[in-house]
Every structure is written in structure tokens, then in C-alpha cells.
Amino acid sequence: NAGVTQTPKFRILKIGQSMTLQCAQDMNHNYMYWYRQDPGMGLKLIYYSVGAGITDKGEVPNGYNVSRSTTEYFPLRLELAAPSQTSVYFCASSYNPPGQPKNNEQFFGPGTRLTVL
């Protein structure tokens, strides 16, 4: 298993540009998450999904959008990039069987370092 993969590893954007951060997992996990990590701060949840077709906002969703058309993929879209979106972005996944206590042990991708200039 490749686990959780993310592309690209690095990207520089100009203000106002848009891009999609890709995330894929091959573990058949139902839950997927997007986090951002800023220097000196804990990871913050941007969006999450509990299954294909279901997404919800986390703590810091403004300026981002997500979709989950299949179990495997959970892309994060940045529209109109701003310097405040300079960060390291992590995708993660976990398996939570329906009707059972939440597991929430999360598996993380390698991260995407994004700079907006």
C-alpha cells in the first residue's frame, strides 16, 4: 500500500492564482481530512469528509473548497490564493466502521509546502 499520497510536494503561487492540492489513499478509509500547519502553531482542520459525497467544514475553511466523489480521492481547491494561505498542507485518512466507537487514528500524507507571493 502507498498509504496517503499528496501532490505536489512544493508549489509557489502568485496572489490571485488558483490551484488544487491532490490527495489519494489506497487503504479504503472512509474518513479523510485536510489540515494546515503554520510555524509555531498546531495543525488546524480545514475540511473533512466522512465518506464519498459527504464533506464538512473544519476550523479554518475560508478560501478553500473540497470534493469527495470517490473514497480514494479528496482534492483541496484554493481559489484566489492569498499570502495568508502560505502554509504546509497535510491530508490524512482514518477508518471508522459505522456504528462502532470512533477510532480516529489518522494516517498522514507527506505534506505540500505552499508559498503565495
Partner 1 sequence: KNEVEQSPQNLTAQEGEFITINCSYSVGISALHWLQQHPGGGIVSLFMLSSGKKKHGRLIATINIQEKHSSLHITASHPRDSAVYICAVSHPLDFGNEKLTFGTGTRLTIIP
Which residues lie near partner 1 (CB under 8 A)? 40-45, 48, 50, 56, 58, 88, 90, 92, 102-108, 110-111, 113
C-beta closer to partner 1: residue 19 or 45: 45
Spell out the residues 6+ positions from residue 104 whose beta carbon is closer than 8 angstroms to its own. Answer: 31, 94, 96
Query: 83 phi and psi, to 5 degrees?
Result: -55, -30
CB of 72 to partner 1, least distance (A): 20
Strand (E) or helix (H) holding 90: strand 87-94
Enclosing H/E stretch for 56: strand 54-57
Q: How far is the CB of 80 from partner 1 (least distance, A)?
A: 26
Least Cβ distance, residue 106 to partner 1 (angstroms): 6
Grid cell listed for 86: 502560505
Q: Rank residues 14 and 99 by Cβ distance to partner 1 and give the closer one.
A: 99
